[in-house]
Amino acid sequence: MENRKTWFVTGASKGLGLTLVKQLLQAGHKVAATSRNTASLIEAVGFTGDAFLPLGVELGSDESVAAAIRQTDQHFGGIDVVVNNAGYGMGGSMEELTDKEVRDSFDINVFGTINVIRHVLPVMRGQGSGHIINISSIAGIAPSTGWSVYGAAKHAVIGLTEVLADDVGHLGIKVTLVAPGAFRTNFNNPDSLVLSQRKIDAYSEARSSQEKFAAKSGTQAGDPAKAAKLMMEISEMPEPPLYLLLGSDAYVRAFAKLDLLSSSYKRWEVLTKSTDYD
């Protein structure tokens, strides 16, 4: 029987976050779960009892996140696993996206994750243990046309996670970067997938890519229940993976990107090395 842990899960009212929270509570774990709307979170989870702490949190607000971490620590007496799951898709070319659309995307996808990490680290450092799981996307490794800002935000999560693992490993804190492919959740719905309001004809090909992606709703290959179960499993590993791709589509795209990088670096090796001092 696995150890009972205290989990802190963001973006828990729908999608993978909701599936994870339900499985955790069913398995007997203690869960603090965040959403902007507490009432909808409570209704979606459908669980009553002291093991479930629903929290209304604005992840882009450092003060709101700090209060949620503090409340969780006080309520449960510690935090063992954090899952930075909250995020949403942002489709649009650079020219089509407004400053506000870009900043709102980074507020949730990047700065929300940073805020949670910043405030949970003192708790985990004091315990001498903990596990931070950051949910990025295969788009952060191999972004597609029409998804520049989303790819940039998820790539930022990858970069900060890699360095975080180096920074906190000696403190007994484990870190995992999860990069899912397409999963059969509500990610393609308007509340989770935002497309630029401004449309420019010159970028119709990129927009076609967005429309094809949105049309796949309900037919994605990834099973969120299996993904949630796997995250619970890695939380029990003495040495969990730093990088974890989820889904066969993510695996294929990641290795295609790896091949592209390798061939490109090698092709321009002479130019690369030409800038060294003689």
| Residues with active-site annotation | 136, 150, 154
Helix (H) or strand (E) holding 9: strand 6-9
- Our CA angle for 154, 155, 161, nearest 5°, is 90
Please give the torsion angle defined by the CA atoms of residues 161, 166, 172 and 176, in that order, rounded to the nearest 10 degrees.
30
Of residues 163, 18, 169, 173, the one with CA closest to residue 80? 173
Helix (H) or strand (E) holding 127: helix 112-127
The crossing angle, in degrees rounded to 10, of helices 112-127 and 148-168 is: 10
Q: In what order do the strands lie in the sheet with 52-56?
A: 52-56, 30-35, 6-9, 81-84, 130-135, 173-180, 243-246
